[in-house]
Amino acid sequence: MFLGKVIGSVWSTQKETGMENLKLLIVQPIDWQETEGGQTVIAADRIGAGVGERVIVSRGSVARSLFQEKNVPVDAVIVGIVDSFEIAEDE
């Protein structure tokens, strides 16, 4: 999993079977200081994230397992919208 920020949407009129009505968002990986890093990914969104929101993204076979009884060609899925987070400071 990684922390990311939604920076855009993808619209596609032609999709593989199983991807109908599936919202696709462009996510930029960020670190805990919200510094951008890494390659952007296109992630499936079933929870209603929007542009500008921080999200938790899961990748790989775990992402596909969220689509029960469907063989969906998805590599990344948004699994949470981040309200806030806290980092402990070293003393």
Which regions of 30-75 does DSSP assign to beta strands (E)?
41-45, 54-59
Q: How many residues does the chain have?
A: 91
Within a domain: residue 88?
no
Q: How do residues 2-53 score in pLDDT, each as one tens digit?
A: 999 999 999 988 888 778 888 999 999 999 888 999 999 999 998 999 999 9
CATH number at residue 34: 2.40.50.220
Question: Is residue 89 in some structural domain?
Answer: no
Range of the domain at 15: 2-81
User: With 90 as the cut, is the pLDDT of residue 70 above it?
Assistant: no
pLDDT over threshold 90, residue 89: no
User: Number of structural domains, the chain?
Assistant: 1
Enter the pTM of the model.
Answer: 0.86
Q: Say how far residue 3 (Cα) sits from the centre of its chain.
A: 9
